[in-house]
Amino acid sequence: MPETKIIDRTFMVSRKRGNGTLRYEVWEDNGAVTRYNLAYINHLIYSGDNGRVIGYDNRHGHHRHFKGTVDPVEMTSFEEIEWRFEQEWTMVLEEYNAQHNS
C-alpha cells in the first residue's frame, strides 16, 4: 500500500485568542506515520519563514522550527511530537497575549 495523506487540516486561531493559522499534514504507510508537517503561522508574531512561528516536520530529518531557527529533535513517536507542538504553540500565544493585552 502506498503512502497516504491521512490528515490535511487548517485551523484559524481567532483574533480574540491571538490570531494565526494552524496547519496539520500527516502521511502514513501500513498504519505508521511516515511524514508530518505541523505549523503555527502568525505574521504578527514572526514575519520571517513565511510567518511560521513554530513547526515540526521530517522533510529532511526530524526537526523543529522556531522563529527562523531550525534544530534537530529526537523522534520518539509522532504522538509525542504532536503533543510538544500543541504545548508550544499554545505557550507562544499565551506569552504574546500577555505582552499585548496588558
> Which residues form the domain of 52?
4-100
**Dist CA 41 CA 5 (whole Å):** 21
pTM of this prediction?
Answer: 0.91
The pLDDT tens digits along the chain (102 residues) read 689 999 999 999 988 888 999 999 999 999 999 999 999 999 999 999 999 999 999 988 899 999 999 999 987 899 999 999 999 999 999 998 888 876
Computed over its alpha carbons, how large is the radius of gyration of the chain?
A: 14
Total tally of structural domains belonging to the chain: 1
